[in-house]
Amino acid sequence: MILPSIVHYLNESVDVDKLNPVLWDNGKLKEDVKEALTKIVDEFLEHFNIELNVEDVNIIGSNAGYNYKSKSDIDLHIITDYSSYPADVDIMDELFNAKKNNFNNNYDISIYDLPVELFVEDSNSPAESNGRYSLYNDEWIQEPEYIEEPEVNEELYQEYVDKIKAAEKSPETISDLIDEIWDNRKESIAQDGFTGEFNLVFKKLRANGLLDELRQAKMDYTSDELSLK
């Protein structure tokens, strides 16, 4: 049962200079949260047809820092050395992405209503994050710093809302728009970190369900194209 105080917290917009109290207690991951995340990782690893050489499991992103929101994902990254496998790094990247997409799409897992998003990360190419916490060692690898998050560029946000609505009517443009959005986010983070202009737009699109809506439209169109009626 979730306590009323936590329910109230989860329904609020949050932007404070402290770590998410649902997950953290005095800078340490809460024991019940750690145990739940470990079980999720174990379940995920059972879906692999090859043995994954796991170096660590890290929590990164908004919930490993101060700029989280009430519904921010818990980004759980399984760390492995892509070059240690008997295949090209790009092939391994495709395989790991397919596996994590399948798992994330088939399971609706949350910790106190916070969605859990799994990802396989190459230890030779670490993802950008203000904070990084080791689930296995139960300690900070990189302690986060509080950075005041700027306002979302509402004009740019609305531009992409309009693009998404238009793309949903045109299956030919959906894949291109998905690639554009993710490429722009990656570039924004690389240039300006997680407070980058487009990353903030991306987070608002995701929080409002527009990215899920776009992916669902793509799947629906593909299903129709592959069906004989």
Q: Is residue 149 a part of any domain in this protein?
A: no
> Do 90 and 180 sit in the same domain of this protein?
no
Q: In Å, what is the CA distance from 140 to each residue of 21, 69, 124, 132?
A: 16, 21, 19, 6
Question: 170-217: per-residue pLDDT in tens?
Answer: 777 888 898 899 899 988 988 887 788 998 999 889 888 888 888 888
Q: What is the pTM of this model?
A: 0.73
Q: Tell me how many domains the chain contains.
A: 2
More confident residue, 36 or 49: 36
pLDDT beyond 60 at 9: no
**67 found inside a domain:** yes
How far apart CA 18 and CA 26 sit, in angstroms, is 10
| Confidence grade of residue 4 (pLDDT, cut at 50, 70, 90) | very low
Q: How confident is the model at residue 6 (pLDDT cuts 50, 70, 90)?
A: very low
Range of the domain at 218: 154-226
**Structure confidence by residue, pLDDT tens digits, 132-145:** 999 999 999 999 98
pLDDT of residue 68: 86
Regarding whether 138 and 173 lie in a shared domain, the answer is no
How does the average pLDDT of the chain come out, rounded?
Answer: 85
